[in-house]
A and B are shown apart, each in its own frame.
Chain A
Amino acid sequence: MNRIAQTFAVLQSNRKKALIPFITAGDPDPALTVDLMHCMVDEGSDIIELGVPFSDPMADGPTIQRSSERALKHHVSLINVFDMVAKFRQKNTYTPVVLMGYANPVEAMGYENFAVKAKDAGVDGVLTVDYPPEECEEWVKCLEQHGMDAIFLLSPTTTQLRIEHVAKLAKGYIYYVSLKGVTGASHLNLRDVESMLAKLRALLSIPIGVGFGIRDGATAAAVAELADAVVIGSRIIEEIEHSSRSEILNNVGNLIASMRMAIDAKRDQN
């Protein structure tokens, strides 16, 4: 069993939901990223999604775009991101790390080269935003051969036929994008999420994480009631943006802790 499957198995046996924070590697600067990863784990995160900065993040809203721009000011490349994961692994061998990014940096490096280096560094899964299932069979095979999970997005507008297609390729967990639009949007309709998740569960055997639009403990807890995992991205990036450098670890840690507490408290009520 790999780290992602192991993590969900343990959570499930404890009746707990996964908390998955997203940060961009190298934001606000490369020296802070590994500390941030450890801090988020210490405060109750189960899986870390680490964004690979890209010059043209078409599916992201302004907040995550800015985080990418800050990281690129430091010329953060895939090699740097692998180094950060390897450094994280020196102290943490159990928390899964999923890289999230766009196709072009992967293509520039080459599939095989990427997979070997990512695996060596200790990466567990890869979500390539602009590789829909139709365009990435070879890529998915390559990840699989190197023992990493291809994570896929599903959206409210994904058809039944496509869900079935994704079900055949997806490993680890599914990232369900709970709203139309880009990352950082703010209105979340829980009833819509609930009905779509029922549809997804019927077709998918892996855990489902929900992201987009989760702003606070209350929404995190409400989503955790429905899904297996809660993904939080823009809200954390905002915390990084609004904190002075010396406060970042403390403030992001507090935010994660409050989300964790809200999610667990809701479970204990039920």
Chain B
Amino acid sequence: MNVYDLPNKSGHFGPYGGVFVAETLISALDELREQYEQYRNDDAFQKEFTYELKHYVGRPSPIYHAKRWSEHLGGAQILLKREDLNHTGAHKVNNTIGQALLARRMGKNRVIAETGAGQHGVATATVAARYGMQCVVYMGSEDVRRQATNVYRMKLLGAEVVPVESGSRTLKDALNEAMRDWVTHVEDTFYIIGTVAGPHPYPMMVRDFQTVIGKEAKIQMQEGYGRQPDVLIACVGGGSNAIGLFYPYIDDNAVQMVGVEAAGKGLDTNQHAATLTKGKPGVLHGNRTYLIQDDNGQIIETHSISAGLDYPGVGPEHAWLKDIHRAEYVGITDDEALEAFHALCRLEGIMPALESSHALAYAAKLAPTLAKDKLLLVNLSGRGDKDMATVAQMSGISL
């Protein structure tokens, strides 16, 4: 049997990944890679990480059988991996804890982060407060305006939020700006990237910290259902929650894996963020991967109702899993996601994040086509409190 063991030493997943940065960033990445290689196999580090996940985050997150919704859909059984129950309300914190612990060991007392909707920014500000570190979060000025509540949350947690005025003033520009900060303050600063993108070792490191999701699921499925799920379903923006669930299952070919991208207003429009479905390979933010770009190689603005999926790139490991047909990637529109959001609220009393609602919407499409004894495991990556204003607005209600 082939054992999946990527990335290779230089950080490549087939042709994807790698280290595509200016020379000025190379030494910082070399230092990070060496230190991470060391702590990745360090028992004390792993023990502290596990302890924090248990006592601070509240892991393991349960798997919940959405019985009423499954019955309503009339097909396969839908199970939810409840990352929404984590401290701070999403899977993001698994990664920020891991990177903050690494930053501490590397003697860096200032952490910086990029954020789109603000979820990763909040998760970073949270751990910075928890470990007594200085925290600066870069956020596109357009997003600062749209996500005022999360900006205030970050400030309450002691972080400085810097609005980014360049480019399209959204997540990708915040990432550019955080990279610029890092290259200028590399001695005392650790850059906590929020997803499985960026230059090596980030896609590997963020994945490793998120695989707690899939590792728990494997044990919980065995204990609760006596077998593994037939299909794993997770939303993909950058792809960290999806890879966290998928990775421990990659060698288990009986388990199908589906990543759900934001099809926005439709895959045939130019208002979507379905990078793997509609994009082409290229180089952005330090790695080679699929990108939403024009014919001249300029990056195009994306659209999704869910700010967390609104990104023109995608983690390089997903690009590889797509090319080797180990995972399948599909698109779900704004309207379909919204419908799933409401269904879960009404039938299960769970308010999902709009990101996660994309995964749920695909499960709702797939379930009725399958027999009742099939098991779909959906990663419910975050809770939807943050999205109430957006949902209300979409429904024509002002709060």
Contact = CB atoms under 8 A, between A and B. Distances in A.
Contacts of B176: 56-58
A182 B166 CA distance: 15
Interface stretch (B143-151, B179-187, B245-253, B373-381): B179-187
A104 interface: yes
Contact of B20 (A57, A130, A154): A130
A185 B295 CA distance: 33
Interface string B92-108: 00000000000000000
A57 B184 CA distance: 15
B27 A159 contact: yes
A61 B179 CA distance: 11
B293 A108 contact: yes
Contacts of B173: 56
A107 interface: yes
Contact of B183 (A109, A162, A180): A180
Contact of B285 (A56, A106, A185): A56
Contacts of A58: 21-22, 176, 179-180, 285-286
B18 interface: yes
A134 to B, nearest CB: 7
A62 B24 contact: no
Nearest to B313: A56
A155 B298 contact: no
The interface centre, meaning the residue of A54, A78, A158, A182 with most chain B CB atoms within 10 A of its CB, is A182
Interface string B258-292: 00000000000000000000001111111000010
B184 A132 contact: no
Given A107-B283, A135-B20, A158-B23, A59 B183 contact: yes
Contact of A157 (B24, B180, B285, B295): B24
The interface centre, meaning the residue of B180, B285, B293, B295 with most chain A CB atoms within 10 A of its CB, is B180
B24 A59 contact: yes
B2 interface: no
B350 to A, nearest CB: 37
B172 interface: yes
B19 interface: yes
B183 A104 contact: no
A65 interface: yes
Interface in B13-32: 18-28, 30
A108 B167 CA distance: 20
A72 interface: yes
B231 interface: no
Contact of A104 (B18, B186, B282): B282
**Chain B's interface: helix, strand, loop or mixed, by majority?**
mixed
Interface in A143-187: 152-155, 157-159, 162, 177, 180-182, 185
Interface in A118-135: 129-132, 134-135
A218 interface: no
Interface string B154-174: 000000000000110000110
A69 B21 CA distance: 20
Contacts of B23: 132, 152-155, 158, 177
Given A104-B284, A108-B293, A54 B22 contact: no
Contact of A180 (B24, B281, B295): B24
A77 interface: yes
A175 to B, nearest CB: 9
B26 A130 contact: no
A55 interface: yes
Nearest to A133: B23
Nearest to A162: B26
Interface in B167-203: 167, 172-173, 176, 179-180, 183-184, 186
B58 interface: no
A57 to B, nearest CB: 7
The interface centre, meaning the residue of B176, B186, B286 with most chain A CB atoms within 10 A of its CB, is B176
Nearest to A129: B22
A103 interface: yes
B296 interface: yes
A56 B24 contact: no
A185 B299 CA distance: 26
B297 A181 contact: no
B94 to A, nearest CB: 26
A153 B22 contact: yes
11 contacts: A58-B21, A58-B179, A65-B167, A69-B166, A78-B296, A104-B283, A108-B297, A132-B19, A134-B10, A158-B27, A177-B22
Given A72-B298, A130-B21, A182-B24, 10 more contacts: A78-B296, A103-B282, A105-B297, A132-B19, A134-B19, A135-B19, A157-B27, A157-B28, A159-B27, A182-B184
